[in-house]
Amino acid sequence: MSARRSNKDREQGKTAHGHSLAQKLRWLHVLAFVAACSDVEPLHLAPLDPDDVDADDVPNAVDNCPERYNADQHDEDGDGFGDPCDVCPTMVDDQADLGELGALGFGDGVGDACDPRPSRDGDVLERIDVFTADTSARYTGIGWAIGGGVARTVSDARWANSDQLQGDGLRAQIHVSLLVWLSGGFVEVGVDGDGVREGATCVLRHTGGDFDELIATEIGGASMSMQIAPVEAPFTLRAGRILSLDRTSRLRCILDDLEIILPLTLSIESGTYEFASSGAITDVDSIAVYTFPVNPCVTPAPSQLRLCDGDTSDN
């Protein structure tokens, strides 16, 4: 499948998954008819423009997300699919959501390229911030300035989102598009805490020498580190916590194709997320947060259930 939708699909008003919008529109008018024939206040629908079905003033033929309102036409990863229609909005991919088909017969709405568990359902992209507008009110902390599609700091900065997201699995990832070290510093993303007193963090630390470090830490607990070649932007840094069927927890720190797995003592089913930078000029151009449940794989014998370590963790 091409990363860009064909002109024919655009002309026919198909969705990112290739389905026609006609069924959706028929159901809207069915609902309007039912409401009109009941005792409740009738549902009035504005006339639909067949050439602009999402009413965002962008004609279907050139709309990068014709079935969902996106007047700004923002396309974070530049793959031709507007953010609301993109199954992996922060990374270029082929829009495939096929990993669950063998077991379930349908995808879960999170593309295979960014799915925390590509062969099982229930994964949800809970939050995405691409910093096209001032969203600083969502965060507590200091040091970041939003503008031009990035959150930028030129010294020390830390932001945390205090919303509790529910899920046995929680992954936060930042994409760093610019990194200029001013001294020995760090870039960090964390889950399940404020990054100061509690939680688990994944840190890229600049040593100023021949190597950098990737560090996985449970604040107040254990840590693991890996020496790596000096890192330059762009890169993606991920912190993922998974609570397994036996209710044990672990942290996965992933820097592009490098990974550390750290056992955790915390065992919770909800959490927050945060990101930070120190001793650097840093541009974070997106943060995406996923949640997912633990659900076991079904083997050929239905009575046997097993935990799929390759999928339950958030890679």
| In the predicted structure, residue 66 carries a pLDDT above the cut 50 | yes
Choice between 293 and 145, residue whose per-residue pLDDT is larger: 145
| In the predicted structure, residue 266 carries a pLDDT above the cut 90 | no
pLDDT in tens, 18-58: 444 544 554 555 455 445 555 555 554 555 777 878 888 88
- With contact defined as beta carbons under 8 Å apart, do 258 and 246 qualify? no
pLDDT in tens, 157-196: 999 998 888 888 899 999 999 999 998 899 999 998 766 6
Q: Tell me the C-alpha distance between 124 and 202, whole Å.
A: 21
Mean pLDDT of 65-74: 88
- Farthest-apart Cα atoms in the chain, separation: 75
- With contact defined as beta carbons under 8 Å apart, do 226 and 175 qualify? no
Q: Give the Cα-Cα-Cα angle 60, 61, 63 (nearest 5 degrees).
A: 55
Q: Where are the domains of the chain?
A: 1-86, 124-300+304-312
Mean pLDDT of 1-12: 44
Residue 49 DSSP symbol = B
- Decide yes or no: CATH 2.60.120.200 for domain 124-300+304-312: yes
Question: What's the pLDDT at 196?
Answer: 63
Q: Which residues of 186-222 are buried (b: 16+ CB within 10 A; e: fewer)?
A: bbbbbbbbbbeebbbbbbbbbeeeeebebbbbbbeee
**DSSP assignments along 55-122, one per residue:** -SSS-GGG-SSTTS--TT---TT-SSS-GGG-SSTTS-------TTHHHHSS--SS-TTT-SSTTSS-
Please tell me the least confidently modeled range out of 99-113, 118-132, 211-225: 99-113
| In the predicted structure, residue 218 carries a pLDDT above the cut 50 | yes
Mean pLDDT in the chain? 79
| In the predicted structure, residue 124 carries a pLDDT above the cut 50 | yes
